[in-house]
Chains A and B, each alone.
Chain A
């Protein structure tokens, strides 16, 4: 191996083993390529702004003089930004260092001498292939106005417009729809070309020397194209009866083809529309800091959502594999997607490492709910799962698969019914608490490092004056819950107080002492 290749390979090997470099590159790739990444959105909008503003200045400059700094901005500054973007995309297109590392591992495993040269050449050509991708060509041409020598080619301004294609998701979706109907559209295009040629040749043959406007075959083809597309500028018109008959036929074919093309695109869009809507919903919810995924649009889901709308505000999305139920949810005004939550890829799509995600497995089948729970925990242990169990017999199975909380509707209702028979007074108290009655508000108050409660005893805080009962405190260090803590209990950072009081009292406590609820 030549010495220079050796040095490059060693350098790339060093990069491949450098965790900081690989992490940094992975982060940059994530930002530039993952549509779910919040920074990608910012980058897209910034680039769009540069494109539109530079084009506007360039257009203005055609007729009117602009100040030098605007000229500098439109020509040089934006071009430098686009050039940096181009280089980053080129850099993240593939990982040569990974290929080199793979070769090294292969050689170590087989106890042979690594052959870096062919790997380097292969990876290099792959890298170079980026330059020839359509988007990379557009990117490069969009930078060109920077060179004064090429500025006479004002047409390059157009390439900046084309750059928007890469940064606008709507245009991406449009292109996707078109690509799905590639076969039909290409067929139509070929028919169009064929008819244009047939029509053009026909008029050329029929009106040669008779029509002063048709001097060559190009004029005839031009006329044919303008006629078939039903534009009809009127600069060339047939002058013979035979020519007019050809016009009839071409116009009829044109109208038919246009209608056909329109119906192909419209039907493709309507088919894709639901998919796009769902994609948008999924992307939107993932950007939230906290959200709920409700699996199954069952009766309990409806009741839960009614309560949520009345009492609390949560961002949520409903997943159900039954199309009819999804439609019902949509009709009820909820955000719903038709998908199977028991599939790993489906839940993975909603996973965001920085978000506080709670999944509610609410289908009427224990088998489904257990699978959803297991699936959620497989995606991430941090995802909280509240599952509905339809029978007490399967309760332990839910716990085994990692459900954080299991709700047994029949058992809860039975307990309430028994309480209402045997302990009617307790029932009233519990019912009021569970129904969020203002007089019996239970809340959790989080003591953060900013809180003035830190280092104070419970006694020294005016709970009694506010008619608030401290039911318990969860220790910020070990997480142990202490029921009915002593008045001398010293509050620490991270402690969570569970309080019972009138809503007004608790709100006042939070406002006055700048406290936050544990879920806030």
Chain B
């Protein structure tokens, strides 16, 4: 289970979709609502909810925050969302902040406000639609990351010290045995860059590397169990 604490600000259209998704992935999260506007969600989420006031920093300072805490600015109102991002960055300079955006202009503003990652709702959807048009068959399995119940999914596997793969070259490993496809990896030794298999690089697998696969859930878990080492 994901152990980091996630604070989601806003329970509008996006906040609701996000909370459903976070629940599906069993991520421990707290949903925050504007003290004056969205009182109803406090009832729905009970102990996993909090209330904040954008104009009163104390309501944010009182949150239980450690260095791993992640903030998600998901308010429907763009102005409020930007103001919230600015406030959070000021109060918690080292924490990871994510925010939603609906335009390239807002994305730039949010980045200027110190947001680490901005998710542009319409840009992603536009990309998905273009993918559907361009690669109608391929897009079906790309949706595996949206729908958890999808047949073929993406999965990342972290290689631990006692993994039988440690010290092996990527090309030496037979992934076909598990009926999974190796997409790429994060090589710790190479500055945490994601390297796609398509580059043809034949890296040595080391502990701490993160490998990304595409396949059926049971096959991916079998691989993880047998090859990742320890408890993944």
Encode contact with B along A458-490: 1 for CB under 8 Å, 0 otherwise: 000000000111011010000001011011000
| Also in contact, A311 and B133, with CB within 8 A (given A410-B13, A429-B194, A434-B124) | no
A105 within 8 A of B: no
Q: Which of B25, B102, B138, B200 contacts A471 (CB 8 A)?
A: B138
Encode contact with B along A402-445: 1 for CB under 8 Å, 0 otherwise: 00010111111111111111110110111011111001111110
Q: Which of B17, B18, B127, B135 contacts A498 (CB 8 A)?
A: B135
B214/A314 in contact, CB under 8 A: no
A407/B125 in contact, CB under 8 A: yes
Contacts of A443 in B (CB 8 A): 135, 138
Count residues on chain B whose CB falls below 8 Å from chain A CBs.
Answer: 71
A299/B122 in contact, CB under 8 A: yes
Encode contact with A along B136-180: 1 for CB under 8 Å, 0 otherwise: 111111100110000110111000000000000000000010011
B123/A303 in contact, CB under 8 A: yes
Contacts of B176 in A (CB 8 A): 484, 486-487
| Also in contact, A483 and B141, with CB within 8 A (given A410-B14, A467-B198) | yes
A335 within 8 A of B: no
Count residues on chain A whose CB falls below 8 Å from chain B CBs.
Answer: 73
B183/A474 in contact, CB under 8 A: no
A430/B122 in contact, CB under 8 A: no
A419/B145 in contact, CB under 8 A: yes
Contacts of B119 in A (CB 8 A): 413, 416-417, 420
A417/B100 in contact, CB under 8 A: yes
Contacts of B72 in A (CB 8 A): 417, 421
Q: Which of A300, A416, A417, A501 contacts B122 (CB 8 A)?
A: A300
| Also in contact, A430 and B125, with CB within 8 A (given A415-B21, A444-B137) | no
Q: Which of A416, A423, A483 contacts B156 (CB 8 A)?
A: A423
Report how many A-B pairs have Cβ atoms within 8 Å.
218
A500/B216 in contact, CB under 8 A: no
Q: Which of A499-520 contact B (CB under 8 A)?
A: 500-502, 505, 517-519
Q: How many angstroms from the CA of A419 to the CA of B72 in the assembled complex?
A: 13
Closest A residue to B171 by beta carbon equals A464
A472/B25 in contact, CB under 8 A: no
B127/A307 in contact, CB under 8 A: yes
Closest B residue to A520 by beta carbon equals B134
Q: How many angstroms from the CA of A358 to the CA of B199 in the assembled complex?
A: 34
| Also in contact, A414 and B136, with CB within 8 A (given A420-B119, A428-B194, A429-B154) | no
Chain A interface residues (CB < 8 Å from chain B): 292, 299-300, 302-304, 306-308, 311-312, 314, 358, 360, 386, 388, 390-392, 405, 407-423, 425-426, 428-430, 432-436, 439-444, 467-469, 471-472, 474, 481, 483-484, 486-487, 496, 498, 500-502, 505, 517-519
7 contacts between A and B (CB under 8 A): A299-B122, A303-B123, A407-B129, A410-B17, A421-B6, A423-B155, A518-B136
Given pairs A307-B123, A426-B155, 11 additional interface contacts (CB within 8 A): A303-B103, A303-B120, A307-B126, A411-B17, A412-B121, A417-B72, A429-B154, A439-B198, A440-B198, A441-B198, A483-B179
